[in-house]
């Protein structure tokens, strides 16, 4: 049998505002590297085929399912996980607090993925309709909440950041 | 961990071609949303990969001197939808690829990958067929340009030759000028689903908006590869804009398509939604072009 030689590569990237480097197995997904090498356990292993959104992270400001992204592709990228949203003393960000306030969480497994998509939505600085928000959030599966509370948490934070009152339904 | 034998990362297009020549058995990987999922399923277990992910020169949309719209093969679906040139000249393509998978998949997936995997249900494919897109391939002997109709050989098989990678999708000016189109994806869910049928129609009207100068229609999942409905196009060409024409045009698509029974939908049902989608997309295209019916 052919002897298998492990192929490794050193990647340099920015993780939650800090420049880091790691030598990784080229077979690793970005989820593998973030969890195993950096202990970013908010990045969940769900379906591992890009369907559930539990492993979602922001790469250069855009939401990506890190399970179907090779770790070595992180070279030169700015990557953000839920851990990066906390304040210097562990304070929750506005969108995390909104998820708590609206009971948009139950088991919590989908929450980090949802929140990072919400961050991409909020950072666009745009005002979206409910239909648009539903579409923008559609890449995540939640088996507990029924989505309505999640939608409300994102919507509430969107209006708060835009400095506008949230319209009554 | 993915079950791969080796990963070769191309630095530029020339390097990618050299890697293709050196490792003819290796699978090209762009965004990864097809190849990595197939590896996870075990279909490509132990494969060698040539990654073109880092070739940033293949990202973005531009206008060439002769008016050809050039879409780099690694341009993601979300970037196509947001691109001002796409919105101005071929908005229907941006709308079609905005229906692929979900938001994260649209950030990962590329138009090159969507066409190179050769599946008939690809959301970009019917619109690219309906606009006579040209596929640009770069290989050891330079650049080769091929109409997209000939690029698709059979289900899952496209005409990428030894040492080649796809570098761009080109939309000729003749195809998009004064032309307005509409795409309808029929699927069981709004997100994260594969099309049961995809229908892309575009029309060009006369200056007074009363006559259809040209109508084009292409389908995904109406055959093993995306296909055009030439009979329907001939029915509409040169005719006065009317609801009767929309009906005749849509009925004529039955002459051209050959959908199959599958677990997603029966042949008869696909025929029915093909006619209905062609009609609705035709009406919408005429309206977008400024016509009344």
- Ordered domains of chain A (ranges, CATH): 8-81 (3.10.20.30), 94-162 (1.10.150.120)
Q: Nearest CB to B33: which of A27, A50, A62?
A: A50
Q: Where are the beta strands (DSSP E) in B142-280?
A: 142-147, 152-154, 157-158, 165-171, 180-186, 197-205, 212-220, 227-228
Residue B190: what pLDDT? 82
A32 contacts chain B (CB < 8 A): yes
**Would residue B8 count as lying in a domain?**
yes
Is B82 a residue whose pLDDT tops 90?
Answer: yes
Question: Do A62 and A80 meet the contact criterion of CB atoms below 8 Å apart?
Answer: no
Does B57 reside within a domain? Answer: no
**Is 0.90 exceeded by the ipTM?**
yes
Domain assignment of residue B218, yes or no: yes
- Number of domain units in chain B: 2
A residues 142-161 closer than 8 Å to B (CB) = none
Closest Cβ–Cβ partner in B37, B41, B51 for A50: B37
Complete DSSP assignment for B115-135: HHT--TT-TTHHHHHHTT-EE
Average pLDDT across chain A, whole number:
95
Q: What distance in Å separates residue A89's CA from the closest CA in chain B?
A: 31
Instruction: Identify whether B143 is part of a domain.
Output: no
Is residue B129, in this structure, part of any structural domain at all?
Answer: no
What percent of chain A stands above pLDDT 90? Answer: 93
Contact between A139 and B105 using a beta-carbon 8 Å cutoff: yes
Tens of pLDDT, residues A15-66: 999 999 999 999 999 999 999 999 999 999 999 999 999 999 999 999 999 9
pLDDT of residue B113: 96
B2 contact residues in A (CB cutoff 8 A): 27-29, 70
Helix or strand or coil: residue B142?
strand
Is B224 within a domain?
yes
Which residues in B lie closer than 8 A to residue A117 (C-beta atoms)? 103-104
How many angstroms separate the CA of residue B259 from the nearest CA in chain A? 27
* C-beta of residue A105 within 8 angstroms of C-beta of residue A111: yes
Flag whether residue B2 sits within 8 Å of chain A, measured between CB atoms.
Answer: yes
pLDDT tens digits along A140-154:
999 998 899 999 999
pLDDT score for A145: 84
- Work out the average pLDDT over B257-285: 94
Q: Which of B4, B104, B191 sits opposite A64 (nearest CB)?
A: B104
Contact across the interface for B105 and A73, Cβ inside 8 Å: no
Tens-digit pLDDT profile for residues A74-105: 999 999 999 999 999 999 999 999 999 999 99
Distance from the B147 Cα atom to the nearest Cα atom in chain A, whole angstroms: 31
Q: How confident is the model at residue B48 (pLDDT cuts 50, 70, 90)?
A: very high
More confident residue, B65 or B223: B65
With a cut of 70, say whether residue A2 has pLDDT above it: no
Give a yes or no: residue B107 inside a domain: no
Find residues 172-231 of chain B whose CB sits inside 8 Å of chain A: 190-192
Q: Quick one: closest CA in B to A141, which residue?
A: B192
Higher pLDDT, A125 or B222: A125
Work out the angle at residue A58's Cα, subtended by the Cα atoms of residues B122 and A51, and round it to the nearest 5 degrees.
40
Query: In this structure, what CATH number is given to the domain that contains residue B32?
Result: 3.30.43.10
Cross-sheet strand order for the sheet of B27-29: B4-9, B47-51, B27-29
Task: State the pLDDT confidence band at B263, using cuts at 50, 70 and 90.
Answer: confident
Chain B residues in contact with A128 (beta carbon < 8 A): none
B3 in contact with A, Cβ within 8 Å = yes
Q: What is the DSSP string of A88-126?
A: TTSPPPHHHHHHHHTT--SS-SSHHHHHHHHHHHHHTT-
Cβ distance A50 to B108 less than 8 Å, yes or no, reads yes
Percent of chain B with pLDDT over 90: 91
Contacts (Cβ under 8 Å, ≥6 apart) of A81: A15, A16, A34, A40, A42, A43, A57, A58, A112, A116
What pLDDT shows up at residue A4?
A: 65
Which pLDDT belongs to residue A169? 66
Rounded Cα distance between B205 and B291, Å, is 7
Is pLDDT above 90 for B191? no
CB contact under 8 A, A51 and B192: yes
Which CATH number fits the domain that encloses residue B192?
3.30.390.50
Domain hosting residue B206, numbered range: 177-288
Q: Is the pTM of this model over 0.90?
A: yes
Residue B37 lies inside a defined structural domain of this protein: yes
Searching chain B, which residue's CA lies closest to the CA of residue A62?
A: B107
Q: How far is CA B75 from CA A9, A163, B220, in A?
A: 26, 34, 21
Each residue of B101-144: pLDDT tens digit? 999 999 999 999 999 999 998 999 999 999 999 999 999 999 99
What is the per-residue pLDDT across A57-70, written as a single tens digit (0 to 9) for each? 999 999 999 999 99
Evaluate if residue B281 carries a pLDDT over 60.
yes
Residue B234 Cα, gap to closest chain A Cα (Å): 37
């Amino acid at each position: 049998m052919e002897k298998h030689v492990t192929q490794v590569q050193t990647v340099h990237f920015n993780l939650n505002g800090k420049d880091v480097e790691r030598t990784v197995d080229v077979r690793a997904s970005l989820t593998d590297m973030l969890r195993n090498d950096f202990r970013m356990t908010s990045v969940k292993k769900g379906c591992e085929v890009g369907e559930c959104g539990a492993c979602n992270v922001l790469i250069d400001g855009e939401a990506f399912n890190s399970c179907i992204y090779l770790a070595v592709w992180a070279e030169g990228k700015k990557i953000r996980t839920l851990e990066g949203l906390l304040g210097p003393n562990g304070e929750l960000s506005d969108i995390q607090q909104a998820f708590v306030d609206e009971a948009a969480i139950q088991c919590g497994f989908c929450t980090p993925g949802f929140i990072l998509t919400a961050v991409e939505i909020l950072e666009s600085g745009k005002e979206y309709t409910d239909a648009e928000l539903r579409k923008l959030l559609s890449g995540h599966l939640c088996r507990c909440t029924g989505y309505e509370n999640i939608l409300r948490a994102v919507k509430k934070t969107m209006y708060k950041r835009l400095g506008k009152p949230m319209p009554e339904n | 961990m993915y079950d791969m034998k080796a990963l070769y990362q191309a630095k530029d297009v020339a390097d990618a071609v050299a890697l293709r020549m050196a490792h003819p058995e290796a699978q090209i990987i762009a965004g990864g949303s097809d190849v990595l999922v197939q590896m996870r399923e075990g279909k490509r277990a132990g494969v060698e990969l040539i990654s073109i992910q880092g070739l940033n020169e293949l990202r973005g949309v531009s206008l060439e001197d002769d008016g050809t719209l050039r879409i780099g093969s690694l341009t993601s679906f979300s970037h196509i939808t947001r691109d001002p040139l796409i919105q101005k000249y071929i908005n229907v393509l941006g709308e079609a690829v905005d229906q692929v998978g979900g938001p994260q998949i649209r950030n990962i997936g590329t138009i090159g990958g969507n066409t190179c995997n050769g599946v008939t249900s690809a959301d970009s494919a019917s619109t690219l067929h309906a606009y006579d897109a040209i596929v640009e391939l770069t290989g050891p002997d330079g650049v080769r340009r091929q109409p997209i109709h000939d690029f698709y050989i059979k289900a899952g098989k496209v005409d990428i030759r030894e040492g080649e990678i796809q570098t761009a999708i080109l939309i000729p000016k003749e195809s998009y000028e004064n032309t307005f189109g509409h795409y309808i994806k029929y699927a069981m869910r709004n997100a994260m689903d594969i099309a049961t049928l995809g229908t892309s129609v575009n029309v060009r009207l006369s200056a007074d908006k009363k006559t259809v100068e040209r109508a084009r229609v292409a389908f995904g999942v109406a055959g093993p590869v995306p296909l055009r409905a030439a009979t329907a196009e001939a029915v509409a060409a040169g005719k006065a804009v009317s609801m009767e024409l929309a009906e005749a045009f849509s009925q004529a698509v039955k002459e051209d398509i050959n959908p199959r029974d599958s677990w997603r939908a029966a042949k008869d049902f696909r025929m029915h939604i093909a006619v209905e989608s062609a009609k609705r997309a035709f009406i919408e295209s005429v309206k977008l072009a400024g016509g009344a019916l």
